Amino acid sequence: MQQPRFQFHPTVRNKLVIDGDSAAVVRRVFDMTLQGMGSTAIARRLNSEGVLTPGAYFRQKNPGSGRFRKASEKNGWTAATVLNILHQYEYTGALVGRKRYKAGLHEKRTVPQDKSDWIIYEGAHDAIISRADFNRAQEIIRQRPRRAKGTSQEYPLKGLLKCGNCHRTLSRFHSTAGYYYRCTKSRADENSDCPKGKLFSEKEIEGIIFRAVMQMLAMCQERKKQKSSLMLTRKERIAACVTELQKLEQQQERYRQEKFRAYEDFSGGTLTKDAYLKQRADIDSKLAAAKAEQEAQEQLLSELEHLVFQDKAQEDDVFTSFVGATELTAELAQTFIKEVLVSSPTEIEIVWKFRDVFDLQGHDN
């Protein structure tokens, strides 16, 4: 993720200028690294001083932008955030292009480009960090001990468990008593509201989630007997998404036309500058909100289109094939669960990939 440490030049097109406040943070991160501090220690220092993270700083400076809107306000600095800054070659004054490319012809998802294929323009703007200091920092990072990479493990809740406070993915680790999960954010943020030092038993959480899923399936089967159209099939959800996307595109086009008409009125002298700027800001805010909703719908549509079912019968009725399940499997979890927010062993919220059947009970009458 590109760090918001530059801003566009006010008069020179495609030129960047240094954002003084945030650039000072970048220099501190590099200075502390060159002095021998580790990334986690740097994150702790910045959190203790109340320094805004890149995302929080960007939201503060650009309240109408959609960037970083999904990041929790409670998120603080982590070792990963610090390392991300240390790896940004742009801070040496270079302009770097083609760092990522689209994963497929019709996909929005991008993947990292090999560094040998990057396009680099040296001296494109003022530097925050000298190239010598940047290279020294990279060498320090390379010399740090790394954990040996083992074979990737597969388990039912892989990537689904999130901290109920900061919404970061929980870390899984093994002990003599079995597998556990924990939120590692509090390691670098002493003021975090995340459950500090709390360990969540994988076995207990899997049991709770499995019972919730089976209860949901039983309720769906009962509802199916009482009501033939449950409206939870993949095709119907895709159609609903497509319809909503069409509405959002039409809505954005109306906003763009309103913006153009406001400019025409301003150019023609029928609208004052202050009134025009106010109208433009209001329309831009509406456009940003519509764009954010469009991206959310496109993400949901992408997830629906990539769901893989074993046969046609499963597509028409996903629930039937899992009714007799005896344990939580990765297929069962990935089919029904979007994420699981864990705040404590007794506070677990399951976010389903479809309308919550439990909530729907009150809407049938």
pLDDT classification of 312: cutoffs 50, 70, 90: very low
The residue among 74 and 287 whose pLDDT is bigger is: 287
Stretch 316-337: mean pLDDT: 76
Q: What is the rounded CA–CA span in Å between residue 43 and residue 46?
A: 5
The mean pLDDT of 3-13, rounded to a whole number, is: 49
pLDDT for residue 109 is more than 80: no
Distances (CA, A) of 65 to 61, 258, 293, 361: 9, 19, 13, 38
Residue 79's pLDDT band (cuts 50, 70, 90): confident
- Alpha-carbon distance values, 199 to 151, 186, 196 (Å): 24, 13, 9
What confidence score (pLDDT) does residue 150 get?
Answer: 54
Mean pLDDT of 53-71: 72
Of 14 and 37, the structure prediction assigns the larger pLDDT to 37
Q: Report the 10 Å Cβ neighbour count for 132.
A: 9
pLDDT given for residue 106 in this prediction: 64
- Alpha-carbon span 94 to 70, nearest angstrom: 29
Closest CA to 355 of 218, 236, 246: 236
pLDDT at residue 310, as a whole number: 39
pLDDT at residue 324 greater than cutoff 90? no
The mean of the pLDDT values for the chain is 78
| More confident of the two residues 118 and 323 | 118
- pLDDT at residue number 152: 58
Q: Give per-residue pLDDT as tens, 328-350.
A: 888 888 888 888 898 887 888 88
Q: Tell me if residue 181 falls in helix, strand or coil.
A: strand
State phi, psi for 308 to the nearest 5 degrees: -115, 125
Range of lowest pLDDT (164-178, 288-302, 327-341, 350-364):
350-364
Domain layout of the chain by residue ranges: 6-143, 154-226+318-365, 233-313
Mean pLDDT of 40-59: 84
Q: What is the mean pLDDT of residues 99-120?
A: 75
In the block, tokens 């009482």 appear at 226
Specify whether the CB–CB gap between 112 and 99 falls below 8 A: yes
pTM over 0.85: no
Token duo for residue 324:
């007799």
pLDDT bin (cut points 50, 70, 90) of residue 363 is very low
Q: Is the pLDDT of residue 303 over 80?
A: no
- pLDDT band of residue 30 (cuts 50, 70, 90) is very high
Average pLDDT on 75-104 reads 82
DSSP 8-state secondary structure symbol assigned to residue 333: H
Q: Is 329 left (phi over 0), alpha (psi -120 to 50) or beta?
A: beta
Give the helix ranges, DSSP H, for the chain. Answer: 20-34, 39-48, 54-61, 79-86, 131-143, 202-226, 234-267, 273-305, 312-316, 330-336, 357-360
Helix 234-267 × helix 273-305 angle, to 10°: 160
Residue 231 reports pLDDT greater than 50: no
List the CATH code of the domain at 6-143: 3.90.1750.20
How far is it, in rounded angstroms, from Cα 4 to Cα 7?
8
For 220-276, give the secondary structure using H, E and C.
Answer: HHHHHHHCCCCCCCHHHHHHHHHHHHHHHHHHHHHHHHHHHHHHHHHHCCCCCHHHH
Q: Which residues pair with 163 in a beta bridge?
A: 342
pLDDT-derived band at 124 (thresholds 50, 70, 90) equals confident
Percent of the chain with pLDDT over 90: 6
What does the alpha-carbon distance between residue 148 and residue 141 come to, in Å, rounded to a whole number?
16
